[in-house]
Structure 1
Amino acid sequence: MQVSVWDTYVTKKDGSTMHFDIIVQSEVKDTTAIYNYGKIYLESKGQENQPLSAKECSFCHIEAVSPNWEDEINKNGCFIIEMENCK
Structure 2
Amino acid sequence: MLCSESEAAATNVFCSESKRQQQMFSVAKAKRQQQMFSVAKAKRQQQMFSVAKAKRQQQMFSVAKAKRQQQMFSVAKAKRQLQSTQSNGNQPTLW
Q: TM-score scaled by structure 1?
A: 0.20
More strand by share: 1
More helix by share: 2
Higher relative contact order (CA 8 A, sep 6+): 1
Q: TM-score scaled by structure 2?
A: 0.18
